Structure formats: structure tokens, C-alpha cells
Amino acid sequence: MNAQTLRITGMTCTSCAALVEKALIGVSGVGSAKVYYDDGHAQLQSHLPIEAAELIAAVARAGYGAELDVKAARPLGMGGAAARRDEGPRPVSGRGGDGLRVAIIGSGGAAMAAALKATSEGARVTLIERGVLGGTCVNVGCVPSKIFIRAAHVAHMRRQSPFDDGISATPPVIDRGCLLAQQQARVTALREARYENILRDTPAIQVLHGHARFVDASHLAVDLADGGERKLTFDRCLVATGARAAIPPIEGLAGTPYWTSTEALECERIPARLLVVGASVVAVELAQAFARLGSRVTILARHGLLSAEDPAVGAALMGAFRAEGVEVLENTQACVAAHVDGEFVLTGEDDQQWRADALLVAAGRTPNTDAIGLDVAGVSVDAAGRILIDSAMRTSAANIYAAGDCTSQPQFVYVAAAAGTRAAINMLGGDAELDLSAMPAVVFTDPQVATVGRNEAQASQAGFAVETRTLALEHVPRALANFDTRGFIKVVAQAGSGRLLGVQVVAPEAGELIQTAAVAIRAGMTVHDLADQLFPYLTMVEGLKLAAQTFTKDVSQLSCCAG
């Protein structure tokens, strides 16, 4: 057999590795190919020599880069071993996944990342999904919500922009049916490309459609969607069942046709009046989007907008919302809900009432862990039903792991995917942990909210002596050029050393600059290091440099692009 190793560039996830692997296997003469996303290598075996140029061209056609690597990235022989004949679980110790039986409950970001990583190491995976493949993000979460929000942004800009004196504004006509069709078509296409097709083209992953529940710590029973039951024995199992909308205990709510985010994103009409219960990420994103598409929106906030963030964040967002006509009622709770003659009526503690044509309940999420038999498998959960895991995604049961929104991890798909990959590594004998100390987060309002690291209160609570600076966007040249100076950039640093501890940004396109701050925190940079970097002029990310410079300078006295 002839062995060759390629170095692959351009991969951003394990799905990319699967696509490169498929491209290489399609080259005539290639007997086997394994692509390892974690170290960016591909290993191939062939009966006859194959020109490297042919392999590189195949990878290029798939949209990635490749070059021959004369140094072997890892030993050959990962995979192809005969399956064990015994039915008991393998011991947890040891390295390598040849023939290991891995069961994964769920098919979202964590599940897919784990499945692809496990199969790349030779494991045999059974993936069980009770609903639609792809989980929350692609189907009813990130993808459709960002399409909906972007459409609302376009509608808003056509109605009103900072350049209306020179470019005439035109009130838009909203065809919700067409927008919904466009949204769902993109959701379907992404689900097919990133989930269904990959699973179909990965023989080492068997997909079962049905509801899984634990029989004990090494067996699952699956109630199949098309009837019957299937029993599974596993060596390792990953629980990646995600979460669903949490429903607050409002009297009468259960008997009304209220929306969660799922129904809101699939609605066929834009209501004239919309009540929103909740003030966290989903609530504020969808509230503003509906307002921009024509609804008169009222938010009932138990505390304030995004109350878990730095207080300045909520205050800035409040100002932006009220400027657009979104009514925000702080420290307000609904106690009773009714739906009469097509109208929602919510009643508060002081008998105040609010009426609307539609009601969106966006008061957080609860884990999908209540019907899968975790107790009989010895898997512990907290009071909220979230699976308890350590930094390696291990549960209280030795051979069962968990990742994503069914745990206490931050509910972002990129966190879930990273956790799923590391869980798979550890299932197969590795030692990988998930470090969330520099985790960026974005709220897709306008202006956006983007954060990373600790805010001022969190840093102080962690025992740091803290020094902070807040830069108003009126000092950022790009914001001035855009005629949009809503928001700020706040930098949190350790007093004395200047080590960067956190950044909070409220700004248009804040999500496009926060990753730079995340990399700086990960690298252990100080505000002085950040202030000394080269940033391209007239970009929003230049605001980070300016904010860092405020620790030692008055930036209002600098020229436009002063270094």
C-alpha cells in the first residue's frame, strides 16, 4: 500500500473535514482517506502511486487548499478493524476509536461535531433524532432568526436612515409570505447540505429516527418513528438533546395560542400589536425585528433589557429601542393571560392590562432532559434539569458524556460544536477540555451587543483590581462616517498590569469586531499591547485600539488615524 499525507487549509469545522474526505475518496485509485480537522491533515492509502497534484486538485474543487506533507501527521491504521463480538461496554481507559460503539442522542451542533470526530477516529456511531435533523440552530434558531432580523433591517433602512436628506426614504411594503418562503428555502438548503447529505454520505454513522431513553448505563431503547423498538448497546454515549423554550407560570397562558420563538419565526403574518414576555437575547432580537416589519411592540421585562450584562449595555439598548417606538416596561410581570375574540389580554400584579394581537413568550430555555431516563443511567442533573458535566464533558456516569444546551454550557451553537468535538476526543481516550474564558457572544439587535471575557462586576467579584475605560462611538471615525454613533466600547483591564480582562460593545456590527478582542484576551495581551497594534482606518474594529489608547491618552485630541 502507498501512503500519503496532505496538509489541508481552509477547514473551519468537522463538516469541512467530511467534505474534503469525500473529495479525496472520489479520486481514482484512493483506497481509503481520513481527514483530521483538529490538526489539518489528511491521510490516504492507495494500491498504486497517485500524483500529489491530482489529490490537491480534488481538494481545490471542494473549495479547500492542500499541499503534500512529507512528515506523517499520525500513524496509519485508524479504522477498519473488525467489530467486537461481545456485547458489554469497553473500558473507559485507552486511546483510539477502532470499532468503538458510540451512541449520540440528538443531531444538532454538538451531536454532529461529535459524530464526525468519532468516525474520523474509527468509531461506529449511531445517531438518534426524534425530530428534524439539524437541531435548533439551523431549523428554528440561529439561521431563520438571522434571516428574519436581516429582512427587518432592510425594511428599516428603506423607511429611515441617516442619509434621508439626500436619499429619499420609501415606506416598504411587507409581503410576509414571500419573506417566509425565502427564509425556509435557505433553512432547508443548509439543513440538507450541512446535516442530511453529510450523514447520508458517512457510512460509519447510522441514523435512527425515534425517541431514545436509557435502559441502564450501557443500553438504550429507541421508540422508532415508523413503529417498533430498537435496543442499542454502546461503549460510549453522548447526550446532546438541546433545549426548548421555557414557559413561565402565568395563569391561563397554557390555554392560549401564544408563540415561542419557533412559532414567531414561522408566522404567516406580521401582527399589528405584539406583546413580548422576556428581555433576554431572543426576546430583544425578535422584538426589534417585528417592530421594524410593522408591529407595535411592547416588551414586559422582569428586570431590564439584558439584565445579566453590564448595566450600560441595557441602558444603551433601551435608548435605541425607544427611539424606534418599541415600548419597554421594566420591572414588569404578567400574572394572568387570556385570549378572547382573537385578542391577547395580559394582566399584571397591579391589575394593569396589556392587549395585543400576538404574544411572544421568550423567557429563557429549559433543557430536553426530562424524558430520556437519565436517572436509570446514573446521570446527575441540577435543579433546572441541566446535565452536570466537568470541563471534559463527562457526566456522573463513567461512559456517558453530554454537551450543548442540555447542560449548563452557554447556549451558542459554536460552544456546542466545540464541546461535541472535545467530548468525542475524550470518549476515545483523549484528554481535551473546553476553555470558555475568551468566549465571544453577540446579540443581533441594532445596534448589536457583543461581549467577551469578564465585565466590570464579574472581574471585581473574581478578585481583580479593575480599571476600565468607556469610549463613546462619537470618537470612532467609522461611526462618524456612517452618521451612526449609537453605542460604546468598554474595556475592562487589570489595574497595574493592564492585562485585558473583558470587552463589552454596543455598536452597529459589533459582532464583527469582538473576535479581535477575544483573540487578544486569549493571547494574554494588555491594553498597551492592543493600543500599539496596527488597525485599518475607517473600520469599526479600530474602535478597540482607540478604546485601549484611552488608558493613557485623550483620544479626542488625536488626529483621525493617529498611531
13: annotated active-site residue: yes
406: annotated active-site residue: no
Catalytic residue among 13, 78, 393, 406: 13
Cis peptide leading into 447, omega within 30 of 0?
yes
401: annotated active-site residue: no
> Residue 86: what are its φ and ψ, rounded to 5°?
-75, 160
Catalytic residue among 1, 178, 537, 561: 561
Catalytic residue among 78, 112, 137, 427: 137
Instruction: Yes or no: say if 513 and 532 are a contact pair by the CB < 8 Å rule.
Output: no
Instruction: Yes or no: say if 111 and 202 are a contact pair by the CB < 8 Å rule.
Output: no
Only one residue has cell 446535565, namely 387
335: annotated active-site residue: no
142: annotated active-site residue: yes
Catalytic residue among 36, 37, 64, 195: 64
Catalytic residue among 1, 258, 267, 560: 560
Which set of grid coordinates corresponds to residue 141?
Answer: 434558531
Label the pairing between strands 296-300 and 441-443.
unpaired
Which set of grid coordinates corresponds to residue 238?
Answer: 453522548
- Coil, strand or helix at 404: coil
Label the pairing between strands 296-300 and 273-277.
parallel
Which set of grid coordinates corresponds to residue 248?
Answer: 413561565
How far is Cα 247 from Cα 25, in angstroms, rounded to an integer? 48
Cα-trace Rg, the chain: 26
How far is Cα 386 from Cα 479, in angstroms, rounded to an integer? 42
178: annotated active-site residue: no
How far is Cα 243 from Cα 252, in angstroms, rounded to an integer? 23
Catalytic residue among 11, 393, 439, 525: 11
561: annotated active-site residue: yes
Which set of grid coordinates corresponds to residue 171?
Answer: 415606506
- Coil, strand or helix at 44: strand
Q: In which region does residue 224 sit, left (phi positive, over 0), alpha (psi from -120 to 50) or beta (all else)?
A: beta
Q: How far is CA 157 from CA 161, 162, 254, 483, in A?
A: 5, 9, 37, 13
Q: Directed axis angle between helix 281-292 and helix 311-323, to 10°? A: 20
560: annotated active-site residue: yes
Which residues are known catalytic residues?
Answer: 11, 13, 16, 64, 137, 142, 560-561
